[in-house]
Amino acid sequence: MPTLLVLDFDGTMTDAEAEGAPFRAGYLDDLCMLVGRPAGDPEILAIADAVEAELAAAPAAHPFLWMGRAVAPATVDPYLRMVPIAHRVLDRFEAIPSALDRGRLLGGVLYKYNYGKTLGRPVFRANAGLALSQVAARATWIVTNSDTHHVAGKVMSLAAAYPNVQPLGERVRGMARKFDVDDRWEGVAAELPLPGLDRPVLLRRHAYHDILAALLRDHGATWSDLVVVGDIFELDLAMPLALGARVGLVASTRTPAYERAFVEAHPRARIIDDLAEIPAFAFGAL
Segment contacting Mg ion by CB under 5 A, of 4-12, 98-106, 183-191, 207-215: 4-12
Instruction: Indicate whether 19 belongs to the interface with Mg ion (CB under 5 A).
Output: no
CB of 28 to Mg ion, least distance (A): 23
Segment contacting Mg ion by CB under 5 A, of 9-17, 18-26, 129-137, 237-245: 9-17
In this chain, which of 19, 41, 225, 231 binds Mg ion, going by CB under 5 A?
231
Instruction: Indicate whether 122 belongs to the interface with Mg ion (CB under 5 A).
Output: no
* CB 8 within 8 Å of CB 143: yes
* CB 242 within 8 Å of CB 191: no
Residues 127-146 that bind Mg ion (CB under 5 A): none
Which CB, 27 or 79, lies closer to Mg ion?
Answer: 79
Instruction: Indicate whether 234 belongs to the interface with Mg ion (CB under 5 A).
Output: no
Segment contacting Mg ion by CB under 5 A, of 8-16, 131-139, 186-194, 263-271: 8-16
Instruction: Indicate whether 11 belongs to the interface with Mg ion (CB under 5 A).
Output: yes
Please report the beta strands in 129-279, taking only residues with DSSP state E, as ranges in sequence order: 140-143, 172-173, 191-192, 201-202, 226-230, 246-250, 269-272
**What would the DSSP string read from start to end of 53-82?**
HHHHH-GGG-EEEETTEEEEEGGG-HHHHH
**Site residue total, Mg ion (CB under 5 A):** 4
Q: Is 187 exposed, middle or buried (0-12, 13-18, 19+ CB in 10 A)?
A: middle
In this chain, which of 4, 6, 8, 278 binds Mg ion, going by CB under 5 A?
8
Query: Regarding beta strands 140-143 and 4-7, do their DSSP bridges make them parallel or antiparallel, or are they unpaired?
Result: parallel
Measured distance CA(221)–CA(183) in Å, rounded: 26
Which CB, 8 or 52, lies closer to Mg ion?
Answer: 8
Instruction: Indicate whether 248 belongs to the interface with Mg ion (CB under 5 A).
Output: no
Compute and round to an integer the Cα radius of gyration of the chain. 19
Contacts with Mg ion, residue ranges (CB under 5 A): 8, 10-11, 231
